[in-house]
Chains A and B, each alone.
Chain A
């Protein structure tokens, strides 16, 4: 069966520090992978998606970047965090149009 792992679960980082969040998927190959951010208002904002290794589509220009170095690995990064980067970050994969499978999320607090 397919599983998705996301870590860390919580993170407190100072303003200006770098960020690296990792997501890996097991039990499937060539998955479509997504990074979402959920802010305090609860809406889900699509940040990046990837349909294959090295292929990244950015939905919202901002202080973040994404990379897909391996088929089942998706990384969200920042060189210098801003206060506004705080939020709940969710990784998801979609192998078919029957909905996403989400990771358990990373709660990022920038202080």
Chain B
């Protein structure tokens, strides 16, 4: 089955850019998602990208997809303390929209 890997922690300074990386194994993956989880809360869908896209930008968020390397990244520009949370990468293939989630990257933003 699909395996989705993320680094567990990322620490950045307020105002810098954050880049959270994710790798997956199934080359037929069609839908790729980024979720944000704040402490004690459920997951919130931040953005998604289809496999026929290389990049998607939404305000401070930029998603890059490298299908050849099966690598997905989320860049947060001008990172703020309110961006501190756990960010989950999730990947699903066509036919079954049930995604496989990574273990999450804990983003810590310090002044």
Q: Cβ of A101 and Cβ of B45 under 8 Å apart? A: yes
A61 to B93, CA, bound (A): 24
At the interface, yes or no: B24 with Cβ under 8 Å from chain A?
no
Chain B residues whose CB sits within 8 angstroms of the CB of A32 once the complex forms: 97
At the interface, yes or no: A102 with Cβ under 8 Å from chain B?
yes
Q: Cβ of B103 and Cβ of A97 under 8 Å apart? A: no
Chain A residues whose CB sits within 8 angstroms of the CB of B97 once the complex forms: 32, 94, 96-97
Q: Cβ of A98 and Cβ of B42 under 8 Å apart? A: no
At the interface, yes or no: B43 with Cβ under 8 Å from chain A?
yes
A98 to B30, CA, bound (A): 11
Number of interface residues of A (CB under 8 A): 23
Q: Knowing A41-B103, A43-B104, A44-B88 are in contact, say whether A99-B98 is a contact too (CB < 8 A).
A: no
Q: Cβ of B103 and Cβ of A98 under 8 Å apart? A: no
Question: A residues 15-56 with Cβ under 8 Å of B?
Answer: 32, 34, 41-44, 46, 49
Q: Cβ of B42 and Cβ of A99 under 8 Å apart? A: no
A78 to B28, CA, bound (A): 36
Number of interface residues of B (CB under 8 A): 24
Q: Cβ of B33 and Cβ of A102 under 8 Å apart? A: no
B103 in complex: contacting residue of A43, A96, A105, A107, CB < 8 Å: A43
B42 in complex: contacting residue of A49, A96, A97, A104, CB < 8 Å: A104
The digit string for B64-104, where 1 denotes a CB below 8 A from any CB of A, is 00000000000000000000001010101010011101111
Top-9 shortest CB links A-B? A102-B42, A99-B45, A44-B101, A43-B103, A102-B43, A97-B97, A42-B104, A105-B42, A104-B42
Please give the residue numbers on chain B whose beta carbons come within 8 Å of chain A beta carbons, in ascending order: 30-31, 33, 35, 40-45, 48, 86, 88, 90, 92, 94, 97-99, 101-104, 106
Q: What are 6 A-B pairs at a CB distance below 8 A?
A: A46-B98, A96-B97, A97-B31, A98-B48, A99-B31, A104-B41
